[in-house]
Amino acid sequence: MTEFTGKTAIVTGAAGGIGRATALLLARKGASVVAADVNPAVRDTASMIRDAGGRAEAVVTDVATDAGAEAFVGAAIDRFGGLDVLHANAGITGGLVPRLDEDSATFLEVLRVNLLGPWVAIRTALPHMTRGAAIVCTASVAGLRAGAGPIAYSASKAGVINLVQSTAMALSGRGIRVNGVAPGLIDTPMTALLYDDARAKGREDRIGQLNPTRRGGQPEEIAEAVAWLASDAAGYVNGQVLAVDGGLSAQHPFTPKWSL
Ligand SMILES: NC(=O)c1ccc[n+]([C@@H]2O[C@H](COP(=O)([O-])OP(=O)(O)OC[C@H]3O[C@@H](n4cnc5c(N)ncnc54)[C@H](O)[C@@H]3O)[C@@H](O)[C@H]2O)c1
């Protein structure tokens, strides 16, 4: 028996990166996992879980649509008979640099995937969740304040932080907790350009230099935080967004030469 034995978890954006790491971890901890992503590589995530002796179903869909959400929630109910954990994690950047001339279509698409997506997932999952269930959304340090991402992306993630707070409040008394994680810079397909560029220049040691832990993070380190927030061990944690960023958001910008 492990902490998620007998439970069913949905992870969106599970084709790679943080979502895959979380799906694998929750499965190792006993959960039956529905892994959803628009990228068919999500099937590999489900295969990895099954090969390791776990239970998993892949759903290839746009998770930021009503039909997509019904597909992955339906898979949890039909295949595994319930729904205990939702990790609304799928996201896009819309580009890696802040642009004041961002066109409306791109801006809207970032909001659709990053903010509407978790909302649609929550709204569709809730009728199937009972007391003890838990929802964890992936926000970002970019949503806490400026300087960690493009404008639409940062605004969408700020929205996710409030979505966590507002839905936790709206679920008052129902025994369903809603929390979020705010990752810092994590080594995933989303940041591959940056990591590849740094590695090609032999400057990998510069990655994460602005946080006091002085390195970038690994997707497994975010997965651990998600699993904890989704577990009964975090039973009194509700409406919170936990920064998992090596300490980046704990400090004001500083001039490195001033540091001791
Ligand atoms: N990597 C980082 O440094 C970092 C930092 C902070 C927050 N995040 C957030 O973490 C989450 C996971 O990102 P990641 O870093 O693992 O990168 P990733 O690109 O590997 O994961 C995002 C996944 O979401 C999927 N996706 C995108 N749009 C979708 C849609 N409409 N329907 C279904 N799936 C869709 C992608 O196919 C991809 O597999 C995202 O919400 C991202 O914004 C990442």
Which whole number is the average pLDDT over 233-254? Answer: 95
Query: Could you tell me if the CB of 241 is within 6 A of ligand 1?
Result: no
Which whole number is the average pLDDT over 39-68? Answer: 98
Q: What number does the ligand 1 atom closest to the CA of 92 have?
A: 27
Could you say which DSSP state residue 186 is in?
B
pLDDT at 202: 94
Q: Rounded to the nearest whole angstrom, what is the distance from the C-alpha of residue 74 to the centroid of ligand 1?
A: 22
Q: What number does the ligand 1 atom closest to the CA of 90 have?
A: 24
The domain spans of the chain are 8-185+218-243
Digit-coded pLDDT (tens) for 122-163? 999 999 999 999 999 999 999 999 999 999 999 999 999 999
pLDDT at 259 exceeding the cut of 80:
no
By the 8 A CB rule, do 130 and 85 touch?
no
pLDDT at 257: 67
The angle at the Cα of 216, spanning 210 to 220, to the nearest 5 degrees, equals 145
Pick the CATH number of 8-185+218-243 from 3.40.50.720, 3.40.640.10, 3.30.980.20, 2.130.10.10: 3.40.50.720
Give residues with Cβ within 8 angstroms of 198, minimum separation 6.
Answer: 204, 206, 207
Q: Rounded to the nearest whole angstrom, what is the distance from the C-alpha of residue 190 to the centroid of ligand 1?
A: 6
The yes-or-no answer on residue 195 being catalytic is no
Digit-coded pLDDT (tens) for 154-167? 999 999 999 999 99
Q: Which of 80, 119, 153, 195 is flagged as catalytic?
A: 153
Take residue 180 and report the two structure tokens written for it.
């979020």
Q: Rounded to the nearest whole angstrom, what is the distance from the C-alpha of residue 110 to the centroid of ligand 1?
A: 11
Q: What number does the ligand 1 atom closest to the CA of 157 have?
A: 43
Q: Which of 108, 110, 118 is nearest to 160 (CA)?
A: 118
pLDDT at 92: 98
Digit-coded pLDDT (tens) for 48-59? 999 999 999 999
Summary mean pLDDT of the chain: 96
